[in-house]
Amino acid sequence: MKKLILLLTLLLATSCATANNTPKEDPYATLTIEKVGKFCKPANLWNVSVLGKPAMIVVFEHCLEIDKLLLVSAPVLETNEELSTKIVDIVHLCYIDYLNETSANKHYKTLVLKEAYRASKDEEKTRSHITFYSIESTKKTK
């Protein structure tokens, strides 16, 4: 009987120690397309396309407590939602590559802050996939 009680106590102790179901708080919960549109002025904006599929790149400086904010958006394609995500990735990578190629003394990288989907105001069933990035730079070493 003592062994059974000891075993149950041990099982209870280990299950309590490993069960951490507290959801992680989103540090960028306030970062929304609506707030960016209302409080931030774009420093640069480009409409681009990847093999005929549209996308948009917008850069903001000092936006919602983020020094350099990069927003990349592409419409969610009904036939292939994964393609929309990949278009955002490709456009983002091309932009960072462009920054690194054109800068003589800085190296750029990004950090994904948040991904979101937004319904289009113009068309009923259209959504956009939006990814927010923080652009960070360091001095190039020779």
Residue 17 has pLDDT above 80, yes or no: no
111, part of any domain: yes
113, part of any domain: yes
How far, in Å, CA of 76 to CA of 117, rounded?
Answer: 9
Q: Copy the structure tokens of residue 42.
A: 């774009």
Residues in CB range of 79: below 8 A, 6 or more apart: none
Q: Copy the structure tokens of residue 32.
A: 């929304």
Summarised one tens digit per residue, pLDDT across range 62-81 is 998 899 999 999 988 878 88
How far, in Å, CA of 114 to CA of 12, rounded?
Answer: 37
Where is pLDDT greater, at 137 or 20? 137
128, part of any domain: yes
Range of the domain at 100: 28-139
Q: How many domains does the chain have?
A: 1
Average pLDDT over residues 18-30: 64
Locus of tokens 């120690």: 17
132, part of any domain: yes
- Note whether 92 and 131 are within 8 A (CB): yes
5, part of any domain: no
Q: CATH number, domain at 62?
A: 3.30.200
pTM: predicted TM-score of the whole model, two decimal places: 0.75
13, part of any domain: no
Helix, strand, coil fractions of the chain, as percent rounded to 5:
30, 40, 25
52, part of any domain: yes
How far, in Å, CA of 65 to CA of 70, rounded?
Answer: 13
Residue 43 has pLDDT above 90, yes or no: yes
1, part of any domain: no
